[in-house]
Amino acid sequence: MEHLSELSRETVNLAVPRGGALVTIDQVDSRYLIGATNWVGVDLPAHCTALGKVLYAFGALPLPLGNLERRTAHSPVDRAQFDHALVEVRRRGWAASLDELELGLAAVAAPVRAVDGTVIAAVSISGPTGRINDYGITKIGDLLVSELRGLSALLGHQPRKEGVG
């Protein structure tokens, strides 16, 4: 997390599923004066966060029942669109949240996998929407996937090769 924060200069969070909720368990703060608040232990509607979208997309969190809460005009509330967005998260390997939880706040997250490939956590890089957009959402997503693939390998996960087993 420190390494990701050094590379991006933004806030980095680690979240895990607990029951049906997203729980942020660690944070490295931004190097900037304007940055994200400390989210450790704060209850959040997971569908509005990049961390939550990763955990939903890879089955670590059960999908929310009923209507999705609208936190901002950008919050995902249409169930069909949300489900399609989760398909995209699985395809890309990372999720983004732009002004969905709070106006001016953006985040990109990717999964951490256990030995058997199950997603056990997610890590995000977050900050003001303008800075995240300037850095490049896809660039951040690809950076997270690459770095967290290494972390997952340290935890024993070895991805299957195409066409093998």
Q: Does pLDDT of 164 surpass 50?
A: no
Within a domain: residue 149? yes
pLDDT tens per residue across span 58-98: 999 999 888 898 999 999 998 889 999 999 999 999 999 99
Within a domain: residue 92? yes
- For residue 38, what pLDDT band results from cuts at 50, 70 and 90? low
Lowest mean pLDDT among 2-16, 21-35, 69-83: 21-35
- For residue 165, what pLDDT band results from cuts at 50, 70 and 90? very low
Within a domain: residue 95? yes
Q: Does pLDDT of 151 surpass 90?
A: no
* Tokens coding 54: 């990763």
Range of the domain at 44: 2-154
* Tokens coding 83: 């489900």
Average the pLDDT over 23-42 and give the result. Answer: 76
Tell me the C-alpha distance between 110 and 76, whole Å: 19
Number of independent structural domains in the chain:
1
Q: Does pLDDT of 39 surpass 80?
A: no
Within a domain: residue 164? no
CB within 8 Å of 140: residues ≥ 6 apart: 8, 94, 108, 125, 132
**Average model confidence (pLDDT) across the chain:** 89
Q: What proportion of the chain, given as a percentage, has pLDDT over 90?
A: 70
Say if pTM beats, i.e. exceeds, 0.75: yes
Phi, psi of 51 (to 5 degrees): -60, -45
pLDDT tens per residue across span 94-118: 999 999 999 999 999 999 999 999 9
Residue 81, Cβ density class (10 Å: 0-12 exposed, 13-18 middle, ≥19 buried): exposed
Q: How many CB atoms lie within 10 A of CB 63?
A: 14
Within a domain: residue 57? yes
Within a domain: residue 163? no
Within a domain: residue 34? yes
CA 120 from chain centre, in angstroms, equals 12
CB 138 within 8 A of CB 96: no
- CATH number of residue 114's parent domain: 3.30.450.40
pLDDT of residue 163: 46
Average the pLDDT over 7-30 and give the result. Answer: 91
Within a domain: residue 162? no
